[in-house]
Chains A and B, each alone.
Chain A
Amino acid sequence: ATFCAVTGGSRGLGRSIAVQLAGRLGEGSRLVLTGRSLQGLQETKRLVEEKCPNQLEVRLVTGDMQDPTAYPTLFSEIFANTPGNNAMMIHNAGTLGDLSKKAAEHSDPQILNKYYATNLTSAIALTAKFMEVFSGTSVRRTVVNISSGTAIEPLEHHSLYCSGKAARNMFFKVMAEEEPDVRVLSYSPGPMVTDMYYTIKSCGVKKVEDGCRVMESQGLIQNPDDSAKHLLILLEEDKFKSGAFLDVF
């Protein structure tokens, strides 16, 4: 009986993680998927149910991580009537920010605040709710931070994305120090064939676009299913040091 929430479950890696989990979560488990697109969430649910028709309860919650006033409703829907002796929170939802801007061109504080609200604050507040709902030692808790290689390797025109991921990594390292009973993992999924990748590939920065082409020619752009699979193996093997930042490669 595992509770598992995955944010950004309407497409890309989030969808892959959901489908991979479908085959692994035991009887009486529940999978909660959040995202902005109900249609996308429904398609993910369809794929999940195709894989395991009876076993898994799938719950869809439409919401936008950008809007903090909506968090109370959103969070209570995510965690309503939670079952189980295992609980997992996978922070997958993420946005790139305006890739046409260099670091020194991000002049609008409203846009900046919105970016960090979506990519940093929402993950922190949602984690706090998760920890509150599943407090007590009888539930085995896992928190996964979907991160990126760019959390440690600067990439041109990605100042917001890099800084947000770096912040999340450190936040979860501190959490891992403080919460010895919680398994905390920051996971870099690697470049994958998703909408996010295509946005990066067309960002207008030659260095970045060339880098994408090189990776493609070397066969390094994965199917998100493969990256999701690798993540679940890491979680199942359970050998990682809590707070670690691990890469798919």
Chain B
Amino acid sequence: MASAGLGLSAVFGPATFCAVTGGSRGLGRSIAVLLAERLGEGSRLVLTGRSLQGLQETKRQVEEKCPNQLEVKLVTADMGDSTAYPALFYDIFADTGPGAFQNALIIHNAASLGDMGKKAAEHFDPEILNKYYATNLTSVIALTAKFMEVFSGSNVRRTVVNISSAVAVEPLRHHALYSSGKAARNMFFKVMAEEEPDVRVLSYSPGPMATDMLQTVRSCGDKKVEDRFNAMESKGLILSPDASAKHMCTLLEEDKFKSGAFLDVFGRFSL
């Protein structure tokens, strides 16, 4: 495949393993389709999500773009269920014996918002809270540990991407759970970046995008939140997930980011 520069083949070249969680719609789908044309020969794309139908549609779009080259594996999973992790992780990383891949990427994209109808001080149910953090925090940590174990050894170039959000650093009403979960992930990956100099770790804020998630946010019932997104829409700041996915891939290919950095699609911050 054509190489746009030194960075391209180093990150996405031949024999690349790439797992994307939440690949059944939205940003996850856009990332998958974009990667389709960039991943080199002998690569494998693994997509996880709760909706098999959604995953299959993503696969169809990926194959439309590059019919032969890429092996696409679908794994249906609910990140909220920790008891299912062993089977889930096994499926994700099956047939990744030593020497199979030169590059390995994991893109932690799957996420949930939590109950947007509640203020911070109204989240009283510990079962719901524990489930929220299991889905958005624990699953990501445990999956990263498995990824690192499977691809241990210095001859595989490893990249971990944490799909984050501006609300990890900018408080937004009715987003207590989402903000706190993203803030936790950002810090977790900063520590990981300190400890793993051989791994490229990136936290990426994709910006507000035209996805199901944004729809949920916009109908949360809080006028301030709704006004904010209406204003963004009128200024043309609601991105297509494809555009945001493209920006993320560019960051990865240019490979100039400091490991552990938290970068925003609009370049509004670099933390």
A contact residues vs B (CB 8 Å cutoff)? 68, 71, 102-110, 112-113, 116-117, 120-122, 124-125, 127-129, 131-132, 151-152, 154-160, 162-179, 182, 243
Contact = CB atoms under 8 A, between A and B. Distances in A.
B231 interface: no
Contacts of A109: 82, 85, 134, 138-139, 142
B126 A121 contact: yes
B191 A159 contact: yes
A159 B171 contact: no
Nearest to A168: B180
Interface of B: 82, 85, 119-127, 129-130, 133-134, 137-139, 141-142, 144-146, 148-149, 167-169, 171-177, 179-196, 199, 260
Given A116-B137, A170-B171, A124 B123 contact: yes
Contacts of B182: 170
Contacts of A152: 187
Given A104-B195, A120-B133, A155-B191, A174 B173 contact: yes
A174 B133 contact: no
Contacts of B125: 125
B126 A106 contact: no
Contacts of A167: 137, 180-181, 183-184
B142 A112 contact: yes
A132 B124 contact: yes
B149 A107 contact: yes
B interface, by DSSP: helix, strand, loop or mixed?
Answer: helix
B121 A127 contact: yes
B220 to A, nearest CB: 12
A interface, by DSSP: helix, strand, loop or mixed?
Answer: helix
A163 B137 contact: yes
23 contacts: A68-B126, A102-B192, A104-B145, A104-B195, A106-B141, A107-B149, A108-B142, A109-B82, A112-B141, A113-B138, A116-B138, A125-B129, A127-B120, A128-B121, A128-B124, A162-B191, A165-B187, A166-B184, A167-B184, A170-B169, A174-B176, A177-B173, A179-B119
Contacts of A117: 126, 130
A174 B130 contact: no
Contacts of A168: 180
Contact of A104 (B126, B186, B192): B192
Contact of B188 (A163, A176, A178): A163
Contacts of B180: 120, 166-168, 170-171, 174
Contacts of A121: 126, 129-130, 133
Contacts of B193: 154
A170 B186 CA distance: 12
Given A104-B196, A154-B193, A174-B174, 9 more contacts: A104-B148, A107-B145, A112-B141, A125-B125, A159-B141, A167-B137, A167-B183, A174-B120, A174-B179
Contact of B126 (A102, A122, A157, A243): A122
A163 to B, nearest CB: 4
B183 to A, nearest CB: 4
Given A107-B146, A110-B82, A178 B192 contact: no
Contacts of A105: 145, 148
A239 B11 CA distance: 50
A156 B183 contact: no
A243 B195 CA distance: 31
**Which 3 A-B residue pairings sit nearest by Cβ, starting from the closest?**
A68-B126, A103-B192, A175-B120
Nearest to A68: B126
Given A106-B142, A171-B176, A163 B171 contact: no
A107 B143 CA distance: 8
B221 to A, nearest CB: 13
Contacts of A177: 171-173
A156 B168 CA distance: 21
A127 B139 CA distance: 25
B144 A104 contact: yes
B54 to A, nearest CB: 24
Nearest to A141: B121
B188 A175 contact: no
B141 to A, nearest CB: 5
Nearest to B160: A104
A159 B120 contact: no
A113 B133 contact: yes
Given A117-B130, A128-B124, A179-B121, A156 B194 contact: yes
Nearest to B181: A167
Given A116-B133, A121-B129, A103 B123 contact: no
A221 to B, nearest CB: 22
